[in-house]
Structure 1
Amino acid sequence: MEDKKKNKSNQGVSGGIYGLGWIGALVYYISHAAGFWGGVLGFLKSLVWPAFLVYELLKHLGA
């Protein structure tokens, strides 16, 4: 029972960090949008920003 409480508190911290990253990605992509549809695309990109991050990291490492 005690282990379940401990794991839930760790999930809150990682969720908060992910949320801040999502807000940052949203601001970045929308601020670089040229028009309405660019803003829509920016919103969609902000939802999957970790995938872009991992892809660029693996490309940089040569994997």
Structure 2
Amino acid sequence: MKILWLICQIGAVCSKSSSDVTIAEVAYTLGFEYPNYFAQRFKKKVGITPTQYRNQTH
């Protein structure tokens, strides 16, 4: 999975208008079967957790 695509997708799914969407829902939307795996891969590639990323972009 390309990291740029992933960042664009999580940005779209986690936009301010849908801030009540959980990280698990983001993971499922992106096709991950296990939200924990998504979070691990995201942190490994981006350097911060999806939650930290969400908080920084708002």
Report the TM-score, using the length of structure 2 for normalisation: 0.30
More helix by percentage:
1
Query: Whose Rg is larger?
Result: 1
